[in-house]
Amino acid sequence: METVETAKLVYSRPESLTDATMHYCPGCTHGVAHRLIAEVMDEMGIRERTIGVAPVGCSVFAYYYLDCDFVEAAHGRAPAMATGLKRVLPDRFVFTYQGDGDLASIGMAEIMHAAGRGENITVISTNTAQYGMTGGQMAPTTLPGQKTTSSPSGRDVELMGYPLRMAEVLSNMEGSGYVVRRSLHNAANIRKAKKAIRMAFEVQKRGLGFAMVELLSTCPTNWGMSAVESLKWVEENMIPVYPLGDYKVTSALDGIRV
Amino acid sequence: MARELLKGNEAMAEAAIRAGLEAYFGYPITPQTELLEWMSKRMPELGRPFLQAESEVAAINMVYGAACTGKRVMSSSSSPGVSLMMEGLSYIAGTELPAVLINVMRGGPGLGNIAPSQGDYNQMVRGGGHGDYHAIVLAPASVQEAIDLVVLAFDLAEKYRSLTFVIADGNIGQMMEPAELPPMRPLKRTVPEWAVQGAIGRERRVLSSIYIEPEDEEVVNIRLLERWREIEANEVRFKEYFLEDAEIIVIGYGTAGRVAFSAVRTAREQGIPVGLLRPITVNPFPSGRIAELIPQARAFLVVEMSTGQMLEDVQRAVEGRVPVEFYGRLGGVVPYPDEILNEIIRVAEEPIELGVDPLDGWLKRLKAITN
């Protein structure tokens, strides 16, 4: 009997993503963000010429999953390490992958000056409004009133300050070519995030300066929610504090469609 | 190459460039700044990356990133700046990367001052950063030696995939004296088999200092220690003066060793049987040579611009078999040759008891001449 091929492959693992089982918690969006980076590396054909800089945090093992050369930075120092790499290998793609504690707290000096210098690197930053790996402590990105293990009564802005909005802050730097905020809470926004990540690598390809994509992300474990509840929490609680949008898009990108 | 009148900091910078330096990252701090300034002019002239970082923390992490590519890279700083680099240095050691750091030491602790000091001995020699690692530490006593040791530092760093420090002090960095620079070496063309430059036509590579399984980290610690023992066996360097028939053996490194040399020479003219051992590598330390000298020694006299940090290494080598005396000036004060000469005469003429803490008598004598 003749076999009739009815199945058509519409979705598969990108080549730039390894087949390692991810260590991330169920419902965490790191896996989504990793996949998007892998898809972009595939589309641009840059996997072999890309060097990733992993941070300290849950994504410390990002190099288990992304199939390109990688180095592992000290907490917060990924932009400095990326600077060293990019300065000696200017024709390679260098990107950092940093959580909000890494980027907005301990690594504030390094990220600000990388942007200020217009360092031609790509920064993918996840924002979960707390420290993930150490178990849910308050971060600079923690929302006012948000309870964490180190702000058990909720973040009191009088004592603990206000959330830092990194996309807005970095967009003010002249060296920034592309700074946007996206969210990973539903399919439509994931598609927008993918385009932004692609654009952030296109910025590097064209030598248009510093590029950063902030991704609002989930942490169901530390938030004490189900995966579905966390996605809703991003939409209802994080987006009002961290509005999605394009904060800096250099005019040199006009007309580039991805 | 002809001898020229060269300033220490600039000579060390140019020596690094001629040794094939491929990228420099640094931050201004006295008394090291001329080194960074020289790099800022010369590196771009040669089409090589120079970057003034936002801090020493960033500078050493830029070195870390660039070192991952297998390129010859370095930074330079002075004591407080080096303290800030300790995090990055530990990561570089843990990732087993070659890198060179010049520390033009100044008075401390804290902000201290900008005068020459050797107060960072423990920080440089004992590690400074967290975790189990060792660094090669070279100590020049002249501008010429600073040039030569900077060149050597890169070769040793790459041979052993090791951190290599050149510890000068404000004197070496700031003074001018005749010296000869080496010829310009071509940049190296080979890429080490461990380097990360993009996975073109090969499996991806990861450079990291994380070994989440303790058993794996233990293997790394063993490898680092075995490499260090190989360095100890092969790379000890020192200079000797008048030691053949010396009964009193002065030990000092860097500027203190150089001042001690003047005192030893004068003492010899007065007929005192004294000689000088000047460690070039303070890590690995020339303990073996010191042990060889014990049978001929009536006493050792350690001279430092610190409170006796190297003294402990000498005491360990001598094992209490003969007295070890100490003389140091602190906080950025450089001893005069006459001060050390007086110490040599004292050790030659007075009976020195075995088993007495040399710091007791030294502190009394020092306080008699300070405020």
Residue A130 has which token pair? 């707390």
Enumerate residue ranges in chain B where pLDDT < 50.
none
Of B234, B255, B272, which residue sits at a domain end?
A: B234
The reply to whether B301 and B352 lie within a common domain is yes
The reply to whether B230 and B331 lie within a common domain is no
Q: Which residues of A touch B66 (CB under 8 A)?
A: 84-85, 87-88
The pLDDT value given to residue A5: 77
The reply to whether B211 and B349 lie within a common domain is no
The reply to whether B205 and B350 lie within a common domain is no
> Total domain count for chain B?
2
Nearest Cα of chain B lies from the Cα of A155 at a distance, in angstroms, of: 30
Per-residue tens of pLDDT for chain A, all 258 residues? 667 778 889 899 999 999 999 999 999 999 999 999 999 999 999 999 999 999 999 999 999 999 999 999 999 999 999 999 999 999 999 999 999 999 999 999 999 999 999 999 999 999 999 999 999 999 999 999 999 999 999 999 999 999 999 999 999 999 999 999 999 999 999 999 999 999 999 999 999 999 999 999 999 999 999 999 999 999 999 999 999 999 999 999 998 888
The pLDDT value given to residue A258: 84
Domain ranges of chain A: 30-252
How far apart CA B114 and CA B79 sit, in angstroms, is 9
**CATH code, domain with B277:** 3.40.50.920
The pLDDT value given to residue A116: 98
Q: Which residues of B touch A109 (CB under 8 A)?
A: 54-55, 57-58
Q: Flag if B61 and A81 touch (Cβ within 8 Å).
A: yes
Q: Are A186 and A228 in contact (CB under 8 A)?
A: no
B-chain residue closest to A18, CA distance: B204
Nearest neighbour of B198 by CB, restricted to A49, A53, A113:
A49
- Where do the DSSP E strands lie in chain B? 3-7, 23-26, 50-52, 73-77, 99-105, 136-138, 163-169, 176-180, 206-207, 238-241, 248-251, 274-279, 281-283, 299-304, 324-328
The pLDDT value given to residue A1: 62
Of B183, B202, B234, which residue sits at a domain end?
A: B234
- A72 reaches B (C-beta below 8 A): yes
The reply to whether B246 and B318 lie within a common domain is yes
Architecture label for domain A30-252: 3-Layer(aba) Sandwich (3.40)
Residue B106 gets the label, from left (phi > 0), alpha (psi -120 to 50) or beta, of beta
pLDDT in tens, B12-27: 999 999 999 999 999 9
Q: A144-170: b or e for each residue (b if 16 or more CB lie within 10 Å)?
A: eebbbebbeeebeeeeeeebbbbbbbb
Nearest neighbour of A88 by CB, restricted to B69, B208, B209:
B69
Nearest Cα of chain A lies from the Cα of B370 at a distance, in angstroms, of: 43
**CATH code, domain with B55:** 3.40.50.970
Q: Flag if B198 and A82 touch (Cβ within 8 Å).
A: no
The reply to whether B156 and B257 lie within a common domain is no
The reply to whether B283 and B361 lie within a common domain is yes
The reply to whether B142 and B253 lie within a common domain is no
- A80 reaches B (C-beta below 8 A): yes
Enumerate the β-bridge partners of residue A127: A216
Of B214, B234, B254, which residue sits at a domain end?
A: B234
Q: Which residues of B touch A60 (CB under 8 A)?
A: 210
pLDDT in tens, A19-65: 999 999 999 999 999 999 999 999 999 999 999 999 999 999 999 99
ipTM of the complex: 0.96
The reply to whether B293 and B216 lie within a common domain is no
Q: What are phi and psi of B330, to 5 degrees?
A: -125, 165
Query: Which range of residues forms the domain containing residue B313?
Result: 238-369
How far apart CA A105 and CA B171 sit, in angstroms, is 39
Q: Which residues of B touch A119 (CB under 8 A)?
A: none
Nearest neighbour of B23 by CB, restricted to A80, A88, A109:
A88
Q: Which residues of A touch B62 (CB under 8 A)?
A: 80-81, 83-84, 87
